[in-house]
Amino acid sequence: MNMLKTDIRILHAILVLVILFPLFRPMGLPLTITKPVKDAYDLVESLPKGSIVLHANDVAPSNEAENWCQLLAMVKHNVAKGHRIILVSTVAEGPMYSDRIRREVAEPAGYVYGKDIVVLPYRAGNETAVTALAEDFQGSYRADYYGTPSSQLSLMQEVKSMKDIAMVGCWTSGDLGLWYIRQVEAKYKTPTVTGIVAVGLTLYGPFQASGQLKGLLLGQAGAAEYETLIKSPGKGLAAMDAQSMGHLYMVLLIVIANIFYFQAKRQSAAAAGKGAR
Amino acid sequence: MDLKVLGTWVAAIATLSVYSYLYKENALFRAVEYILVGLTTAHLTVMGYQNVFDVAIKPVMTGTKTLMIVPIILGLLLYTRWSKQYSWVSRIPVSFMIAVAAAVTITGNIDASFMRQVRATMVPIKDFNTFVVVAGTISTLMYFFFMTIPGGSRAEGNKGILVRILSGGGELGRWVMMIAFGATFGSGVMSRIGLFIGRVQFLFGDWLHMIK
């Protein structure tokens, strides 16, 4: 019964140790590639060289741990396949991460800014902003994130509407993917994949099951699976042993707590029975 | 000191300050919390201003889109909420925003979130997964629509065949939802552990260089 009264700080400390151990000593626990991730990979593989890919990058510090490694993995794949990339954001912090994509992934691979990759600024308006972007892409962005007029960016001149985009990737902890499903996939049939934080499974799962999403990356596990497929280990894969151990710890806590809960319940029932006699 | 190194140290100290809450609520945690709120507000203000300037003010000033004056005026009218006498005026831009947002989203919603989702459940039962989809959808609907019908499952003594089927289906629906809630909780745990691992990777990787 005392187990149920354990100081929560002790449980926190054990969780820290359980997560730290595999980060220092990777255990190589098995990782299964799930179908939604393989579908996303296959979609990128199927796009011809030079295709224009739009990444709706709503990565922010709050979801960086899960969405950033997903976006990085897919952009690396796009770059390896020679796809051209446009990055847009509906969160204020998004363009900072888009700028990192340009500096850390695209340009080291020989991408020329304006021709092969464009970083566009934050746009307020949520779903209405996505609708405006889908209908009049150039009208929605008169200049890029750095203030260069869109007329001077050759890649921007090729995109009139969503019909000119070969694939959309949404990286979010919220409803961004739903906005693109409703305003882009439904209206223009542009293949759409989404990378979400793990808690979004039940929100996006039905859209993946119905085929409205052509692929789905779920949390760090989704990123790790994608990194495995493109043979480029990153932070997602590095986190997987710690994820597995953390889950094992949670499962153990749930089982132990239930055992003690039912034991305590039985003891109190027995005590009540004795009292009645 | 290199600005990147300085940024890493600030982020590391802020991270540790936030996690100090797990031990006990303290002044350091509160200070970092207030700094975060202030920084976020400042950043959003600058980005919001830049957004309004680029999309609306600049086109009006350069004469490329003079009609943008309409949303600018509507936007300014929102601030009449601060006046007791004229606060009713702010209802005009609010109703305009609601109407536009509803009109824009409903068109996509009907097809994407309703029709195609309904269609996705009308599938031939060819394997266990499709059986789960069909049975889960029907039983969950039964839970919401038939569990409380007059003389239904919650009415004692009514054991008609139709009532038994409906109440049994509703009971199955309740289990289906419980499993879905369990999946949501499980993915929630995964998400939170993921966030923590991200911070640990930052602290021991980017800051202390103890892990790759």
Check CB contact under 8 Å for A186 and B108: yes
Contact B128, B117 (CB under 8 A): no
pLDDT at B150 over 60: no
Please state the φ and ψ torsions of residue B127, each to the nearest 5 degrees. -150, -175
pLDDT at B30 over 80: yes
**Integer Cα distance of A251 and A130 in angstroms:** 40
Length of chain B: 212
For residue B196, the model assigns a pLDDT of 93
Contacts of B104 in chain A (CB under 8 A): 127-128, 131, 183
| Predicted confidence (pLDDT) per residue in A60-89, tens digit | 999 999 999 999 999 999 999 999 999 999
- Domain ranges in chain A are 7-25+241-266, 35-239
Contacts of B211 in chain A (CB under 8 A): 23-24, 238
DSSP-assigned states of every residue in A174-237:
SSHHHHHIIIIIHHH---EEEEE-GGGHHHHHHHHHTTSSSEEEEHHHHHHHHHHHTT---HHH
Nearest of B75, B103, B100, B101 to residue B89 by alpha carbon: B75
Interface check for B44 against chain A (CB to CB < 8 A): the answer is yes
For residue B193, the model assigns a pLDDT of 93
Termini Cα distance of chain B: 23
Q: 69-88 in B: which are within 8 Å (CB) of A?
A: none
Cα A83 to chain centroid distance, Å, stands at 20
Residues 6 or more apart from A171 whose CB is under 8 A from it? A55, A56, A57, A58, A59, A67, A70, A71, A194, A195
Check CB contact under 8 Å for A24 and B210: yes
Order of strands across the sheet that contains A192-196: A117-122, A84-89, A52-57, A167-172, A192-196, A215-218
- Looking up tokens 């509803």 gives B102
Check CB contact under 8 Å for B197 and A182: no
CA dist list (Å): A198 to A126, A131, B100, B188: 22, 26, 32, 6
Q: What is the DSSP letter of A160?
A: S
Residue A157 has a CB neighbour count (10 Å cut-off) of 12
Segments of chain A with pLDDT less than 50: none
Check CB contact under 8 Å for B188 and A64: no
pLDDT at B1 over 80: no
For residue A2, the model assigns a pLDDT of 66
Contacts of B183 in chain A (CB under 8 A): 201-202
> Does pTM surpass 0.90?
no
The share of chain B scoring above pLDDT 70, in percent, equals 93
Closest residue on chain A to B185 (Cα): A199
Q: 85-144 in A: which are within 8 Å (CB) of B?
A: 92-93, 121-124, 127-128, 131, 142-143
Contacts of A201 in chain B (CB under 8 A): 183-184, 187
Closest residue on chain A to B103 (Cα): A128
- Looking up tokens 């005009």 gives B92
- Domain ranges in chain B are 1-64, 123-212
| Predicted confidence (pLDDT) per residue in A111-137, tens digit | 999 999 999 999 988 998 999 999 889
Nearest 5°: the CA angle B155, B160, B163 is 60
**Integer Cα distance of A107 and A46 in angstroms:** 23
Contacts of B23 in chain A (CB under 8 A): 9
The share of chain B scoring above pLDDT 90, in percent, equals 64
- The domain A35-239 is placed in CATH, from the list 3.30.1490, 3.40.1130, 1.10.238, 3.40.50, at 3.40.50
- Looking up tokens 């957004």 gives B51
Range in A50-59, A200-209, B72-81, B158-167 the model is least confident about:
B158-167
Contacts of A133 in chain B (CB under 8 A): none
Interface check for A17 against chain B (CB to CB < 8 A): the answer is no
pLDDT at B58 over 70: yes
Range in A79-83, A127-131, B30-34, B167-171 the model is least confident about:
B167-171
Interface check for A64 against chain B (CB to CB < 8 A): the answer is yes
**Integer Cα distance of B102 and B146 in angstroms:** 31
Q: Which among B54, B187, B196 has CB closest to A121?
A: B54
pLDDT tier, B123 (very low <50, low <70, confident <90, very high otherwise): confident
Residue B131 has a CB neighbour count (10 Å cut-off) of 12
